[in-house]
Amino acid sequence: MGHDDNLVGRELERRARVIMPGEWAVEHERPIATLLGSCVAVALYDPALKLGGLNHFMLPYFSRSAGRSEVDALLAGDYAMEALLNAMLSRGAKKDRLVAKAFGGGMVISSLDQSQIGQRNVEFTREWLAREGISLRASDFLGQWSRKVVLDPRTGDVFCKRAASTLAISQRIESREQAYARRLAASKAQDNIELF
């Protein structure tokens, strides 16, 4: 990335709508950004509409099992990809025009489990896009770093900035993921309250 690209990327990041793990967004104008560790973010873009979307997921699949809430599905790639695709289609995108760019799956904390999660996320992403017939135009996967990703929905350009995996960055990513899980649990608890 050259000097001008850095300036453009920083300006987009400043104006961006930030999404957290388990979230997605679709925009015509406003940039969308996220911070990744072992998670993956996929950007979908419809060049005819100049419409872009970005998601952020933690695990490839949601498996229904005892003790797992329906809300956990939000963190899974199979749900996140369907949700993003449906959001794009509902805004007028055509599946045969969509192109994808994908990022993440890094190992920001040295643990075997995390490297396997990142690898599984990457494999899931490639398989899902191929199955849906959506071309993966660019990717930056795996490695020993976290990534800041910013999508410009007006052009479909994605700026990806790698950062060395420091303890502070790892803790920031883990903190965001835990905060999101707590918000989901609180939201689910509120949904279960009956008013009469």
**Hey, how many other C-beta atoms are within 10 angstroms of the C-beta on 113?**
9
| Partners of 74 in the β-ladder | none
**In whole angstroms, what separates CA 89 from the centre of its chain?**
18
Q: What is the C-alpha to C-alpha distance for residues 155 and 96, in angstroms, rounded to an integer?
A: 18
Could you tell me if 109 and 116 are in contact, meaning their C-beta atoms sit under 8 angstroms apart?
no
Q: Which of the residues are catalytic?
A: 39
Q: For residue 134, which of 15, 44, 39 has the smallest C-alpha distance?
A: 44
Say if residues 75 and 91 touch (Cβ distance below 8 Å).
Answer: no
Tokens of 24: 């997605």
Axis-axis angle for helices 112-132, 77-90 (nearest 10): 40
Integer Cα distance of 88 and 164 in angstroms: 33
